[in-house]
Amino acid sequence: MRLWIILLLVVVGVFALGMAARLAFAGTPPKAGTMAPQFSLPSQEGNQVSLKDYQGKWVVLYFYPKDMTPGCTIEAHNFQRDLDQYSKRNAVILGVSVDNADSHKQFCTKEGLNFKLLADTDHKVSQAYGSTMNFGVTEVAARNTFIVDPSGKIVKVYTGVDPKVHSAEVLAALDELEKSSSAMR
Residue 7's H or E segment, with its range, is helix 2-22
Active-site residue flag, 72: yes
The DSSP line for 61-128 is EEE-S-TTSHHHHHHHHHHHHTHHHHHHTTEEEEEEESS-HHHHHHHHHHHT--SEEEE-TT-HHHHH
Instruction: Out of 60, 61, 72, 147, pick the active-site residue.
Output: 72
Query: What residue type is assigned to position 29 of the chain?
Result: P
> Where in the sequence numbering do the catalytic residues fall?
72
